[in-house]
């Protein structure tokens, strides 16, 4: 082995006085440079379009990520559970939209948050839910702030802008003493698109339908100050947001392989990856086994129905550069199988037992949720070399790592066994 290889190994293995691989695998990594670039990109776009940005924190569920979004100019947060609302409120985020229609049994918990000073807005899309909200508000002498969910693309929940019940729901809330804060929609079908033109059309449809719902409510004498739209693909595709007051998006902060398929990022924008260690081989089959299975990656196979099926994820070296045509073709609970992409021309590199690689996930929201902390890696040709706790976060602790320059990024240099 040449001295140069020896140095590369030493840099990788012993750099900065710490073992750079001294992270128990599997582990979720966040590339801070990419994260900050993604956050800035969306914020600049929203600033240019003249709307507020209310990030959805369900993607990383991480206080430190949300702080970076706030520091960049975001206004308030969106959550998908009351637990998220509670945790982020405890960390100083008081302007919170709970963007899932609330069932009656959750109103006590929502009320408790509001009585502690959290400006929590809740969501309904039916007369039944609106009635329960106003009944609770009256019983407790505490009117809720409420938005009505609008169905702008037929993909999930909400009431259609032209549906007569939209006005009925508004009346129940308004007459019942609730504060009708506005309307919101999420064009989730954007995840199924993959051309800029189709995305622009859906973004315009999302805007148009939600603004139309607000106009109908206003025409019926209801106050409806807010018009909230969004998904990462539509937010990054909209060219006109007239009538919209805020945009919600979540996955943009770290992106993933589904978003790369949709076309709103490239794999080199993906800031979340899973660090994993090679544990074995089936040489005849060209399989390399790693210690990240679906517990680490999630069971999400979101790229299966898209233009480029990435299996359970794209394999990268430790700097986050994809290894050509190497993907995780299958996963068990704590085993992943790496192999060449079906039909690939290039042969996969031989990764020895003990070598580490990173895997970009199909769906960051699903993969992030499988981990109880993130390790933060630095940009460019540097790599994590240990960790110290920075600030406690939510379910996920955000850890800042010492970084060290390295000369070689080849996993071949990571051989550790004799």
Contacting positions for a copy of itself (CB under 8 A): 21-22, 24-25, 58, 80-81, 100-106, 109, 125-126, 128-129, 131-132, 135, 151, 156-157, 188, 277-282, 289, 291, 294-295, 298-301, 332-335, 337, 352-354, 363, 365-366, 369-370, 416-418
Nearer residue to a copy of itself within complex by CB, 324 or 354: 354
Nearer to a copy of itself, 45 or 386 (CB): 386
What tokens were used for 140?
Answer: 């407790």
Closest to a copy of itself by CB, 26 vs 76, is 26
Please state the closest distance from residue 121 (CB atom) to a copy of itself, in A.
16
Q: How far is the CB of 214 from a copy of itself (least distance, A)?
A: 20
Are 152 and 187 within 8 A, CB to CB? yes
Q: How many CB atoms lie within 10 A of CB 162?
A: 10
User: Is 76 within 8 Å of 95 (Cβ atoms)?
Assistant: yes
Residue 33 or 157 with smaller CB distance to a copy of itself: 157
Alpha helices in 15-126 (DSSP H): 32-49, 63-71, 82-90, 107-115
- Give the total residue count for the chain: 418
Nearer to a copy of itself, 161 or 278 (CB): 278
- Vertex 301, ends 361 and 362: CA angle to 5°? 20
Q: What is the per-residue burial (b if ≥16 Cβ within 10 Å, else e) of 298-317? A: bebbbbeebeebbbbbbbbb
DSSP-H helix ranges across 254-380: 257-262, 294-297, 364-368
State in angstroms the smallest separation of the CB of 205 from a copy of itself: 18
Least distance in angstroms from the C-beta of 149 to a copy of itself:
8
Q: Which is nearer to a copy of itself, 129 or 400 (CB)?
A: 129
Peptide bond into 61 cis (omega under 30): no
Q: CB of 238 within 8 A of CB of 197?
A: no
Burial 228-242 (b: 16+ CB within 10 A, else e): bbbbbbbbbbbeebe
CB 60 within 8 A of CB 253: yes
Q: Cβ closer to a copy of itself: 38 or 189? A: 189
Cα separation of 29 and 275, whole Å?
A: 7
Nearer Cβ to a copy of itself (201/299): 299
Nearer to a copy of itself, 282 or 392 (CB): 282
Dist CA 382 CA 1 (whole Å)? 23
CB atoms within 10 A of CB 208: 16
From the list 108, 118, 115, 52, the residue with the least C-alpha distance to 84 is 118
Nearest distance from residue 381's CB to a copy of itself, in Å? 23
CB of 175 to a copy of itself, least distance (A): 14
Q: How far is the CB of 334 from a copy of itself (least distance, A)?
A: 4
To the nearest whole angstrom, how small is the minimum distance from the Cβ of residue 21 to a copy of itself?
6
Q: Under a CB-based contact definition with an 8 Å cutoff, are residues 375 and 399 in contact?
A: yes
- Least distance (Å) from a copy of itself to the CB of residue 80? 4
What residues are paired with 148 via a beta bridge? 124, 183
Rounded-to-integer distance, Cα 74 and Cα 55, Å = 7
Q: Taking Cα atoms as reference points, which of 69, 112, 72 lies closest to residue 93?
A: 69
CB of 226 to a copy of itself, least distance (A): 20
Q: Which is nearer to a copy of itself, 45 or 406 (CB)?
A: 406
């Amino acid at each position: 082995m040449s001295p140069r290889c020896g140095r590369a190994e030493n840099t990788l293995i012993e750099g900065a006085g710490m073992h750079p691989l001294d992270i128990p695998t599997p582990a979720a990594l966040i590339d801070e440079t990419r994260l900050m670039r993604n956050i800035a990109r969306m914020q600049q776009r929203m600033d240019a379009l003249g709307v507020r940005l209310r990030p959805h924190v369900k993607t990383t569920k991480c206080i430190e990520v949300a702080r970076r979004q706030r520091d960049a100019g975001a206004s308030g947060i969106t959550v998908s559970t009351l637990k998220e609302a509670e945790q982020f409120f405890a960390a100083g985020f008081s302007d919170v939209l709970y963007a899932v229609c609330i069932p009656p049994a959750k109103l006590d918990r929502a009320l408790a948050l509001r009585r502690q000073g959290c400006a929590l807005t809740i969501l309904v899309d039916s007369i039944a839910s609106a009635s329960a909200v106003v009944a609770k508000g009256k019983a407790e002498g505490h009117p809720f702030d409420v938005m009505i969910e609008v169905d702008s693309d037929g993909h999930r929940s909400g009431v259609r802008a032209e549906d007569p019940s939209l006005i009925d729901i508004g009346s129940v809330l308004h007459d019942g003493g609730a504060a009708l804060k506005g309307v919101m929609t999420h064009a989730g079908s954007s995840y199924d698109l993959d051309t800029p033109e189709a995305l622009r059309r859906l973004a315009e449809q999302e805007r148009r339908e939600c603004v139309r719902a607000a106009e109908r409510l206003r025409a019926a004498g209801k106050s409806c100050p807010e018009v909230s739209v969004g998904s990462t693909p539509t937010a990054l595709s909209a060219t006109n947001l007239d009538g919209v007051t805020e945009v919600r998006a979540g996955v943009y902060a770290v992106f993933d392989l589904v978003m790369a398929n949709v076309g709103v990022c490239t794999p080199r924008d993906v800031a979340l990856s899973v660090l994993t260690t090679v544990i074995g081989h089936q040489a005849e089959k060209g399989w390399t086994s790693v210690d990240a299975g679906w517990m680490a990656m999630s069971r999400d196979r979101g790229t299966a129905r898209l233009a480029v099926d990435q299996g359970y994820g794209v394999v990268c070296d430790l700097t986050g550069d994809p290894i050509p045509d190497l993907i995780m073709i299958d996963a068990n609970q704590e085993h992943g199988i790496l192999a060449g992409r079906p039909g690939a021309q290039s042969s996969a590199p031989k990764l020895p037992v003990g070598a580490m690689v990173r895997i970009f996930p199909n769906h960051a929201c699903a993969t992030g949720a499988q981990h109880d902390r993130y390790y933060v890696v630095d940009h460019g040709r540097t790599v994590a070399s240990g960790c110290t706790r920075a600030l406690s976060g939510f379910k996920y602790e955000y850890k800042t790592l010492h970084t060290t320059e390295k000369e070689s990024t080849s996993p071949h240099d990571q051989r550790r066994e004799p």
